[in-house]
Structure formats: structure tokens, C-alpha cells
Amino acid sequence: MQDMTALRAAVTPASVPSPEPVRVGLLGLGTVGSGVVRLLAENRDAIERRVGRRIELGPVVVRDPNRARSVQVPRDMLTTDAGAVLDDPSVRIVVEVMGGVHPALEYILRALRSGKAVVTANKDVIAEHGQRVFAAADAGGADVFFEAAVAGGIPIIRSLKESLAGNRIRRLAGILNGTTNYILTRMEREGVNLDQAVAEAQRLGYAEADPSADVEGWDAARKLAILASIAFSSRFLPRHVYREGIGAVSHRDIAHGERMGWSLKLLAIAEHVEEGVRLRVHPAFVPRQHPLASVHDTFNAIYVQGDAVGDAMFYGRGAGSLPTASAVVGDLMEAVRFIDRGGKGLSCTCVYRIPALSMAGSASRFYVRLEVKDRPGVLAQIAGVLGRAGVNIESVLQSPVGEDQAELVLVTHRVAEERMARALRGLRRLESVERVAAAFRVAPEDL
Ligand SMILES: NC(=O)c1ccc[n+]([C@@H]2O[C@H](COP(=O)([O-])OP(=O)(O)OC[C@H]3O[C@@H](n4cnc5c(N)ncnc54)[C@H](OP(=O)(O)O)[C@@H]3O)[C@@H](O)[C@H]2O)c1
């Protein structure tokens, strides 16, 4: 028979939660807020034993207290008055999961200045106003955590800030928007066009009625600005990110890419080169054997290349109620630990001022699809335009698509952006070229 006393000692933590609870105010009870309430209830025992404190949910601020909710919260805890959280001295931690910039930013600043720790999932606020948020945190001697603001449940923020902090990061390449990844996956697997895939994403609740923030790459650009600021310890804003969305992608490009052993992804890339940091979000063909090519559906991934760690990939769910709540609750527990320790967590880590570079000066291989007149001499004209612009062709594939029309798919050798832009302008001017249907970059060879 087992020694029950020894067994009990092994499973019982040395310290049990103190009776003094930490009060937490919640701003927002939508997708993420409901997940937070659910997780705090379902894993209460483990969470409280791990932080050694009871966590007590205080007021919950919503727009409409009478709305039906997916989680049970006593009606008298719901309020439309943010002051119930922000002005209550017994609330030590504010969880902001209401979204949007205003009034979320003002609420976050108010909470921090009055010394309350803030946990937020708000990428818009952190990407655009991070500097003000950190200044308020310093002024109030309070902590701010935002793990859920990038890639939902994937623990990338703290990994970059702490676990990988001893590295010089050379490059980050991520799939940071689950909606566009879902759309590209549908197009690849089912051969549907962009509109059909967007409609399917909307039907399943993955895309908004107006999907432009995702499809045009704005969402990924904000997340990339946050990640790059941490990875390179210098503040970058969404406006520093070169951005192209997936609006011009056709299932024909995806099919051609497949034949060449590539998968098309909306990549968010941050690279540290000699002159500075270049940030870009655009569709890119990724070799099928690369780990990023196997990131499908709504999943997110971040591929980190550091001088010490080498290559590391973080993969998981970038959105959803419980995956995002996983990150929020992890931050909340860290905030409780800092309250108990009496110290302060890592604040702003932007200690350098590194220039943000434009795309000029960068070089890539390009995939170009042209619709041309099917007649003798056209290929020579196209080769002439490319040659004069200094673009070398690696391969050409020609296929007839109608009576007197042909489709040409060219892949170039690595070429500077300016040269490629000049070549595309020249091709558009050719009478024999009916349309430059697509021009996408191929992911860097050393990714
Ligand atoms: N959804 C995800 O998977 C996900 C993933 C990562 C990060 N995030 C981020 O998490 C945040 C919340 O997203 P969500 O999807 O949970 O949003 P949501 O479902 O729209 O919920 C927003 C909540 O905030 C409340 N609210 C909004 N504006 C308010 C105001 N002015 N005053 C009082 N209450 C207000 C709403 O009240 P009512 O319920 O009464 O309308 C609702 O409960 C956003 O910053 C988002 O970018 C979301």
C-alpha cells in the first residue's frame, strides 16, 4: 500500500492561497471577457494555488447590461459606468477587453496613473499608443501586460521580452492574422476564389462584415509593429510597416505556386539589417517544406531567427474566447505576483532608436503572372522590358487561356524592389500585355 501521507504532501502545495483576495475589474464581457470569466471559474483552484492568492472578480463594465451573455455573471456586477472599476481603490487590477482605441486608451491611462495594474488584449491601443501607455505605467508605478494583443493564445510577447532577451534577433516572420490565413487555406484546398473564401470566413464568424482590416493587412501590420518594437528594443509604429493585403490573390496564383512547391501566405516580416529595421506585410510564396507553410486555417505562427537560439517557431491559436483568455489570465496571474512581491514587471523595453526602412533597397525573387496576346514575338518583348530594367528571369511557364490569349508565369531571380517596379511599369505599357494579373514576392531564401 502507498504511503498516503507522503502522497498527500506531494500534491499539496507548501502555501495555500491567503484569505486576502485581489480584486479585479473587467472592462468588457464579449468574446474575450467571457473567456476570462469562464477560465477564472473553471480553473480557479489551480490558478489561485499557483499565485497563492484568491482572485475576486469586481465590477464588469459593458455597453448593455441587459444583453444575454454566454457566461453567468450576477446582474448587480454589470455596469455601464467605467468609474465603478477605475475609481474603486479596492480594484487592484484592470482587465481591458473592450477593444477599440477610445475610450479604451483613456481608461487604461487612468487605471495606470492611479497605480492599478492593467492587462489588455488591445493591439490597436498598444501598437499606436504604446509609448503613452508605458509612460502612464511608469508614472503610476504600475504594471501593464498585453500578451493577448498579438497572436491570441501564443506566448510570444513574454518569450521575446524575457526568454529570448539574450539574443540579437535577426528576423521575425509571422502569420499573424487568422482570418486571411483561413481564406488562403480555403483557396488552396478547394480552389475557390477570394470572394467565396471571404464569404465563408464571414459565415463562420472569422471575418467581420467589413473584412478590410484583415484582408488589407492592417491587423497584421499593427501586430508586427508591436512584435518588432519588442524584438529590436526600438519603437515601431504601424505606419512604419510596408503593407499589401491579399485582395489581388487569385486561386490561379495559388495553383501555380503549388506546382512550384510553394504555398501562398500573408507574411508579416521584420528584419534587422545594417541600416535599420524593415517591416513588411505582404503575400509571399513559402516553400512547402518550410514550417510556416504548414500553418493552416485560423492558426497563427511566429518564426524567430536569433543569433543564439537559431530558428524557433511559436504556433497556436491566434484568436478565440478561451485561447485569448489563456494569455489574459496568464498576465493577470503575473500582475498578482508583482503586487505581492512589491516590485514592478518589465516596462517599456524600447531602449534604442533604430531607423525604420522603406522597401527601397530590399530585394526578393518575384512571381509574376501576365495575361498576354498569344502571338509570335510577345515573349521577346517581355524579356526586353525585363532585361532593360535589370530583372533576370529564372523560369517561364506559358499556357493558352483562350482563342488568342495566353497566360505567362515568370519567376525572377532576386531583384531590387526599384528594378522590379520599373519592369512592371514597362510591362503595363506593352500593347501585347493585356494585364499584369499578379506580382508576389517569394519568401527570403534564408528564412
Ligand atoms: N476575439 C478574439 O479572438 C480576440 C483575440 C485577441 C485579441 N482580441 C482583442 O480583445 C479585445 C476584445 O475583443 P472581443 O472580441 O472580446 O470584443 P467583443 O466581443 O466585441 O466584446 C467587447 C465588450 O466590450 C464592451 N464594450 C465595448 N465598448 C464599450 C464601451 N464603450 N463601454 C463599455 N463597454 C464596452 C461590450 O459590451 P456589450 O457586451 O454590452 O456590447 C462587450 O462586452 C479587442 O481589443 C480585440 O482586438 C480579441
Pick the atom of ligand 1 nearest to 34's CA: 16
Convert the pLDDT of each residue in 129-145 to its tens digit: 999 999 999 999 999 99
Q: Which of 123, 282, 175, 156 is nearest to 231 (CA)?
A: 156
DSSP secondary structure string for all residues of 262-278:
EEEEEEEEEEEETTEEE
Q: Say if residue 15's pLDDT is above 90.
A: no
- 352: which DSSP letter? B
pLDDT band at 403 (very low <50, low <70, confident <90, very high): confident
pLDDT of residue 18: 66
3-state class (DSSP) for residue 100: coil
The order of strands in the sheet holding 91-96 is 78-79, 53-61, 18-27, 91-96, 117-120, 144-145
Is there an atom of ligand 1 within 6 Å of 287 CB?
Answer: no
Catalytic residue among 123, 223, 265, 373: 223
Q: Which of 386, 445, 382 is nearest to 421 (CA)?
A: 386
Give the count of alpha carbons within 13 A of 102, CB side only: 0
Is there an atom of ligand 1 within 6 Å of 73 CB?
Answer: no
d(CA 229, CA 85): 30
DSSP secondary structure string for all residues of 144-179:
EE-GGGTTTTS--HHIIIIITTTS-EEEEEEE--HH
Convert the pLDDT of each residue in 292-339 to its tens digit: 999 999 999 999 999 999 999 999 999 999 999 999 999 999 999 999
Q: Which amino acid is at 9?
A: A
Q: How far apart are the first and last CA of the chain?
A: 56
Convert the pLDDT of each residue in 353-363 to its tens digit: 999 999 999 99
Convert the pLDDT of each residue in 343-392 to its tens digit: 788 888 999 999 999 999 999 999 999 999 999 999 999 999 999 999 99
Is there an atom of ligand 1 within 6 Å of 67 CB?
Answer: yes
Once rounded to an integer, what is the mean pLDDT over residues 66-85? 96
pLDDT of residue 9: 39
Is there an atom of ligand 1 within 6 Å of 64 CB?
Answer: yes
Pick the atom of ligand 1 nearest to 28's CA: 24
Q: Is 223 a catalytic residue?
A: yes
